[in-house]
Structure 1
Amino acid sequence: MANFEASVQLTATPEQVFEFLIDTENILKISPPDAGLTFTKKPDKLYKGATIEFRIQGFGQVQEGVHEITVFDEPKLFTEKQISGPLKHYIHEHEIVPSGDNLVTVIDRLEFQPPGGLLGFIVTESKLLDVFDEGFYHRHNKLKEIFS
């Protein structure tokens, strides 16, 4: 399994950031526009057991996926796991850690495995790491704008 981690410090309470991140409309606000993320089925807010069905643009193709929220510990942590999608394995942990007076650090941890078959020759671990790095750079800058 490959891993990726990125973090950002925000001026907010854990409750404010957690509430923002579990609102599925806000996910669209902080996602890179070139990712082409759209939801085909989603709840208004995430909760343990919730599923999100989506389409995303990647490597010249529109991919479909389904993620399930498998861990939900408000206002500290929630985890989404790929049920179906383009990667062999994908888990995204969102952790919110108090880091001072009205400061929090949002830590995004990914555990993933590239796709197999012919697609695996194009969508390699290093290419995915580059995509994740760019995507979370955008996401974290948007969060800084919102929580500044």
Structure 2
Amino acid sequence: MASFEASVQLNATPQEMFDFLIDTENILKISPPDTGLSFTKKPDKLYKGAILEFQIQGFGKVQEGTHEIIVFEEPTLFTEKQISGPLKSYTHEHHIVPAGENQITLIDRLEFEPPGGLLGFLITESKLLDLFDEGFYQRHQTLKKLFP
């Protein structure tokens, strides 16, 4: 299984960041526009057991996916896991680590497996790592603007 990690320092308390990230409208605000992310089913706020059904633009076509929140430890961690989607497997941990007064480090950790079959020849681990790197860079830049 492949992995990816990105982090960013932000001016917020752990609770402020946690509350922001579990609000599903905010997920749309910080997602890179070129992903075309849209939810087809979602709660207003995430919680353990919450299901997110979504569509995302990837590799020239709209992909559908479903994620479940499998870990929910307020205000420092929540984890989403792919139930169905374009990858063979995908897990995203959102860690919020205190880093001083009114400062946190947000760490995004992914474990994933590219799709199998013919699609796996196009959507390789290397291509996915490049996409994650670009996407989380954009996401973190947006968060820096929202939490200066």
Alignment deviations for residues 85-131 of structure 1 (CA, whole Å, 9 cap, x no partner): 00001000000000111100000000000000110000000000000
Give SS of 1:100's match.
coil
Q: How far apart, CA to CA, are the structure 1 residues paired with 2:36 and 2:117?
A: 24
Query: Could you tell me which residue of structure 2 aligns to residue 66 of structure 1?
Result: 66
Displaced runs of 4+ in structure 1, greater than 2 A? none
Q: How far apart, CA to CA, are the structure 1 residues paired with 2:102 and 2:36?
A: 33
Shift of the alpha carbon at 1:139? Answer: 0.4
Q: How many residues align?
A: 148
Structure 1 length as normaliser, TM-score? Answer: 1.00
Q: RMSD value over aligned CA atoms? A: 0.3
Query: Could you tell me which residue of structure 1 aligns to residue 140 of structure 2?
Result: 140
Structure 2 residue ranges without an equivalent (≥5): none
Query: Could you tell me which residue of structure 1 aligns to residue 104 of structure 2?
Result: 104
Q: How does 1:1-148 map to 2 (within 5 A)?
A: 1-148=1-148
Structure 2 length as normaliser, TM-score? Answer: 1.00
Shift of the alpha carbon at 1:58? Answer: 0.4
